[in-house]
Structure 1
Amino acid sequence: MKPGTIVKPKSKISASRKLSLKILLLQRAMESLEQEKVNRDEEKVKYLGDRLQPLQLSGMTMDDLQKLCKQLHAKIDVVDEERYDCEAKVMKNGKDIHELKLKVQDLGGKFKKPALRKVRVSAEEMMKALLGSKHKGTMDLRSNLKSVKKEEIKAKDTAEAGDWRKNVEAMSGMEGRKKMFDASGGAQ
């Protein structure tokens, strides 16, 4: 056995005993669920009996029946509004619970970050993505560069080197090195 390893003690309960205990627990859970259902049904009947009085329609005139119908419609509207409010609260609480679960998962770090893919995007598409609707027209990157007159560059190059092929041939070998040495002012 390696040092530092944790050894779990073997269970003292046999597999058949574990199975029988699980079966007993499941039976108790089923019984308690059935009992809860019966209790809920009894409470519902009792609540409806307290809230609703039996209607006595015998011996009522047409006007009385119409008044009773209007009263019942008013009560139905009130109950319907309460039901709608309760449903809205339940939906809001459900969304809040979902958002909190997501936050907990984010904090727990259970999500793997996906590998990023290389995407080729042109300069114009990138500017549209960054600037949105503010980006108008095409973007010519060369137009933003500093303009340099070609004649000035040619004049500098010809004054210093002339034709580069002649310059390379002249500088090749020992004679070229001697010319470079003399031109730098080394032999005076």
Structure 2
Amino acid sequence: MSDDDYSPPPSAPKAEAKPKCKISASRKLSLKILLLARATEELEAETAAREEEKVRYLGDKLPPLQLTGLKMDELHLLCKEMHSQIDSVDEERYDFEAKVIKNYRDINELNLKVQDLGGKFKKPALRKVRVSADEMMRALFGSRTKESMDLRSNLKSVKKEDIKQEKELNMEVGDWRKNVEAMSDMKGRKKMFDA
């Protein structure tokens, strides 16, 4: 083998490069501008058509009122009719809203079922989290718990000196005659005030 016959070893297959677009950048820009202009025109036409449909529908459902030349009794009747119409329309609106909410709920449930059947949903890996008793109580009860759950700090600390003093007091109380004799002179009273 000579140096001229050398060819590099085959490397891993690379992702296919996108073929270069044969449309120039200025042409792309002009096409985008034309598409956006067309889309805005269609949106404006659609909104105008909706407004016209709305006006036509309202014209069919609500004929213009003629209040001139009506007496009070006729006006009262007209008001009662309008109130009954408003009530019926509100009932229909409520029914439609309930149907829409129910349909959204059904769609959401079906989407969840599709995801479950597709098997693409992966359960996230759960981590072990150390939570102190205070944090757990805050999570369970919110800000209602103001007491600290640190049980060791809440315990009463007992010192050995306190135990010795209590034993001495118990010993002193045992024989009352000795206490009376010890406290009878001025030194005893001084001890009482010092204590």
Can you list the C-alpha shifts for 1:89-108, whole angstroms capped at 9, x where unaligned? 11111122222233333344
Deviation of the 1:16 alpha carbon: 2.7
Q: CA separation of 1:103/1:16 partners in 2, compared to 1, >3 Å: closer, same or farther?
A: farther
CA displacement 1:9-48 (0-9 Å, x = unmatched): 3222223322221221111111101110011111111111
Normalised to the residue count of structure 1, the TM-score between the two structures is: 0.54
Residue of 68, 74, 96 corresponding to 2:106:
96
Letter in 2 for 1:21: L
Q: TM-score, normalised by structure 2?
A: 0.53
Residues 69-108 of structure 1: pairs in structure 2 closer than 5 A:
69-108=79-118
Deviation at 1:5, TM superposition (A): 6.1
| Alignment correspondent of 1:60 | 70
| Residue 45 (structure 2) aligns with | 35
Shift of 1:74: 0.8
RMSD: 2.6
* Alpha-carbon separation, structure 2, partners of 1:119 and 1:51: 63
Relative to structure 1, the CA distance from residue 97 to residue 23 in structure 2 (aligned partners, 3 Å threshold; closer, same or farther) is farther
Residue 99 of structure 2 aligns to which amino acid in structure 1? K
Q: Equivalent residue for 1:24?
A: 34
Q: CA deviation at 1:4?
A: 9.2
Q: Name which of structure 1's ranges 1-10 and 12-21 shifts more when overlaid on structure 2.
A: 1-10
Match of 2:122 in 1: 112
**Separation in 1, partners of 2:20, 2:44:** 37
1-structure distance, mates of 2:128, 2:55: 65
SS at 1:85 equivalent:
helix
- Residue identity opposite 2:77 in structure 1: K
Q: Which runs of 5+ in 1 are unaligned?
A: 121-188
**Cα distance between partner residues in 1 of 2:32 and 2:114:** 32
Identity of paired residues, percent? 71
1:145-160 to structure 2, matched below 5 A, reads none
Within-5 A mapping of 1:126-141: none
**Counterparts in 2 of 1:3 and 1:58: CA distance versus 1, 3 Å:** closer
In structure 2, stretches of 5+ residues that fail to align are 1-10, 131-195
